[in-house]
Amino acid sequence: MNTPAPTRPPLTHVPLSTRALPSLDPVPPPWPAAFEEVGTARLHVRRTPGPDGVPAVYVHGLGGSSTNWTDLAALLAPVAGGTAPDLPGFGYSEPEEGFDFTLQAHADVVVRHIGESGPVHLFGNSMGGAIALLVAAQKPELVKTLTLISPAVPDLRLDPRRLSDPRMAFAYLPLVGARVRAQLAALGPRERASQVIKLCFADPSRFPESRLDELAEEHGARAGFAWAAPAMARSTFAIFRAWSTLGKASLWSVAPLVKAPTLVVWGREDRVISVKRAVRTARAIPRARLLVLPRTGHVAQMERPVVVAKAVLGMWEHVEAGTW
């Protein structure tokens, strides 16, 4: 007698936890940070204290940093402490000589960062989502659950609205590129920070003024790092190369290899990676469910941290109960 295969739960059935969450009023400051040796790399890492148990690891996106996870980490801290590294070339992590900025190179750094602390609850947003996808597929023993927030799956639309400044499309072209890069470099840190939030939030007014101050300070500091702009450019090109890859190395081919229970979160008004990629992404991952949030952009963990936290906790609770 053949045993019928178990039916997959509805793709969009995402149970929200009823657990009480910490208050985000007043807005919490960034978590304490220190430089840590990760193999041959030296990473700037923020640590969120929490109870003993499975820790969380948070991986930011292109142009982001560990501070992108401050609020979500605060909401999850009573259940899971965690770490948020600045990836090589981002935040305050200077890339080591010879680092090639491919998604795979970043994934290898994350694997070394997890190290012996695995398995972990792994999170990734945007480029960090693609990196987390690679880690979960290649090192399943390190990942207990996976949360992907607008992961950078292939999306080759030619749309200037995807850029924080439309001039960025010309920044690396022959002849005009140098002049455009000089114009972009002349922007003040606060203006640069405001452009990023305008791109990534559906409603930029939801971004607290204190957070804008923090982001402007970080942009101001990075303006003095000779490695920051090349790291951004090379990581951007690496994403497009990954999107053009076909066959077994394609991100669409990697996704079915993920064994961990997975929550995919997308903002319906995401201008960076289209929400049209959401269903395909969730369907490609065997144990994934999909949460699409209205009035939300590219960084749901920043714009809607409470509902994202409730969805994550709901996944964790159902995983423990064996019902995910």
What are φ and ψ of residue 144, in 5° steps? -85, -45
Domains located in the chain, CATH noted: 33-157+228-321 (3.40.50.1820)
Burial class of residue 186 (count of CB atoms within 10 Å of its CB; 0-12, 13-18, 19+): exposed
Stated as kind and residue range, the H or E segment containing 275 is: none
**CA-to-CA distance for 48 and 198, rounded, in angstroms?**
28
Return the closest-CA partner of residue 37 out of 46, 49, 45, 48.
45
pLDDT of residue 182: 55
Tens-digit pLDDT profile for residues 79-123: 999 999 999 999 999 999 999 999 999 999 999 999 988 799 999
* DSSP secondary structure code for residue 295 in this structure: T
Positive or negative CA dihedral for 81, 272, 260, 254?
negative
**CA-to-CA distance for 285 and 260, rounded, in angstroms?**
9
pLDDT of residue 172: 45
**CA-to-CA distance for 164 and 71, rounded, in angstroms?**
23
Stated as kind and residue range, the H or E segment containing 57 is: strand 56-59
Tens-digit pLDDT profile for residues 19-53: 999 999 999 999 999 999 999 999 999 999 999 99
H helical segments located in 21-120:
70-76, 103-114
> Which stretches of the chain drop beneath a pLDDT of 70?
1-7, 157-187
pLDDT of residue 6: 57
